[in-house]
Chains A and B, each alone.
Chain A
């Protein structure tokens, strides 16, 4: 087949560790692995199109590929959020197990197909838990959340709203200013190493864990289906397998760089806190309510949710027995 140049607008700056660096790695690996027959040119967010326009641009063929996370499309397809991050959902290992060896991938592609998007989807990075948020005050009971203005993204936002939090969805670059000026009282963004770049530790001194809303986050490479069809089987395999390798690379990078940042944050006076049992239980109860609403409102959301839940119920037997309990250190 002819040489392929994947012109790839990305949703996260390639300087953001584990969020944007994986796709840069992919773009460096592709030409090497394919002996130059597959190349990828990445365009930083907004350079060609904004992050939220990537699906439209790829599907219509204005660009032949794009890198984002499915959570961005939940306004177009409510179920998309489930392929990005699930509150109280699977960790990275379990998530990948469902995607690659359960029905995850076929449902993922089915979602785009049945909604008429002309794209081939390939998971191309995954990161481990995000932090649960940065607060200016201690949160010990659900009532402490009431009346807060908080930046919160995705399905978790619906949970927070049920607890009396007003959520908004500021983009990364605007969070610090809003937090500093008090326009928001709290925020979540990503993992510690990424949050550090925003400077959140300078304003909000209480950093809560675990990230119940995002235990693992999947990022996707979208390829226009016509462009995909024109590629040779070999080229397709190279793209798919480079992305699979990128899943490994991304989680390894993400896992490697958090503890140092957290240790430094502690030195700078940040209180690293673990949600108490009451809080975690409350979040989970409210999440269950959200699920009931979402599954009632959208049949495909229900289909994916049911499949994921069935898989997880089976996995439980293994998970509950196989792993050592984790060390907790408050």
Chain B
């Protein structure tokens, strides 16, 4: 796994990334919680056969939280997968330019579309006080749905930090 230190240092971007990683370290506990929930469910289901649906739903709730907020974390650790067939041979400046252009014309529009539409998606769920479709399932579905705009906002921040980092590096002269 790539380490955050693999990116050249740029002060402001570093502190934004550090903040996102701190948030990430907190949210990463969702997976530990998930392990415990699953164990609890297996025990309950075999032992008492009760409360099954709530635990089933809690599982994908926790998984969804981990997956969605993780996107910004993986961005700060520079882990998103690239085809490095040619990329690994590019000069640093070329990489900076590619990063800047791709963030401006691909990543940010993509995040923006999801972010804007997710606001309606959450508002709609909140308006009708959406409940799990299963009678004995979890209430407040808007809560888990609001993970989409929140995590996309955090991802946007991580991406902007990367944009700033690469812009600074591009104009900074050779390292």
**Chains A and B in contact, CB within 8 Å:** yes
Contact, CB under 8 Å: A60 / B133: no
Q: Does B45 contact A (CB under 8 A)?
A: yes
**A37 CB, min distance to chain B CBs, angstroms:** 31
Contact, CB under 8 Å: A158 / B49: no
The complex places the Cα of A169 from the Cα of B137 at a distance, in Å, of 11
Partner of B45, one of A149, A155, A157, A158: A149
Contact, CB under 8 Å: A73 / B45: no
List A contacts of B121 (CB < 8 A). Answer: 56
Partner of A75, one of B49, B50, B52, B141: B141
Contact with B along A123-158 (1 / 0, CB 8 A): 000000000000000000000000101000001011
The complex places the Cα of A115 from the Cα of B129 at a distance, in Å, of 10
List A contacts of B130 (CB < 8 A). Answer: 75-76
Contact, CB under 8 Å: A60 / B120: yes
Given that A60-B120, A60-B124 are known contacts, is A169 also in contact with B134, CB under 8 Å in the complex?
yes
Q: Does A77 contact B (CB under 8 A)?
A: yes
The complex places the Cα of A158 from the Cα of B132 at a distance, in Å, of 14
Secondary structure type dominating chain B contacts: loop
Q: Does A116 contact B (CB under 8 A)?
A: yes
Given that A56-B124, A167-B52 are known contacts, is A73 also in contact with B134, CB under 8 Å in the complex?
no
List B contacts of A75 (CB < 8 A). Answer: 130-134, 137, 141
Of the candidates A72, A76, A157, the one having the most CB atoms from chain B within 10 angstroms of its own CB is A76
* Chain B residues numbered 74-133 whose CB sits less than 8 Å from any CB in chain A: 120-121, 124, 127-128, 130-133
Q: Does A31 contact B (CB under 8 A)?
A: no
Contact, CB under 8 Å: A149 / B131: no
Partner of B128, one of A115, A149, A158, A161: A115
List B contacts of A155 (CB < 8 A). Answer: 135
The complex places the Cα of A158 from the Cα of B133 at a distance, in Å, of 12
List B contacts of A77 (CB < 8 A). Answer: 128
The complex places the Cα of A167 from the Cα of B53 at a distance, in Å, of 7
The complex places the Cα of A113 from the Cα of B160 at a distance, in Å, of 42
Q: Does A258 contact B (CB under 8 A)?
A: no
Contact, CB under 8 Å: A147 / B141: no
The complex places the Cα of A230 from the Cα of B166 at a distance, in Å, of 50
Task: Give the size range of A's interface with the partner.
Answer: 20 to 34
Partner of B49, one of A72, A74, A149: A149
The complex places the Cα of A35 from the Cα of B103 at a distance, in Å, of 48
List B contacts of A73 (CB < 8 A). Answer: 133
Q: Does A13 contact B (CB under 8 A)?
A: no
**A94 CB, min distance to chain B CBs, angstroms:** 25
Q: Does B136 contact A (CB under 8 A)?
A: yes
**A102 CB, min distance to chain B CBs, angstroms:** 26
Q: Which partner residue on chain A sits nearest B128 by CB separation?
A: A76
Contact, CB under 8 Å: A157 / B124: no
Partner of A157, one of B49, B128, B134: B134
**Can you offer 25 A-B residue contacts whose CB atoms are under 8 A?**
A52-B133, A56-B124, A60-B124, A73-B133, A74-B133, A75-B130, A75-B132, A75-B134, A76-B131, A77-B128, A78-B131, A116-B127, A116-B128, A149-B49, A155-B135, A158-B136, A161-B136, A164-B49, A166-B50, A166-B52, A167-B52, A168-B52, A168-B56, A169-B53, A169-B134
Shortest 5 CB-CB contacts between residues of A and residues of B? A75-B133, A166-B52, A166-B49, A75-B131, A158-B135
Additional A-B contact list (4), CB under 8 Å, known A116-B128, A149-B45: A74-B133, A77-B128, A161-B135, A166-B50
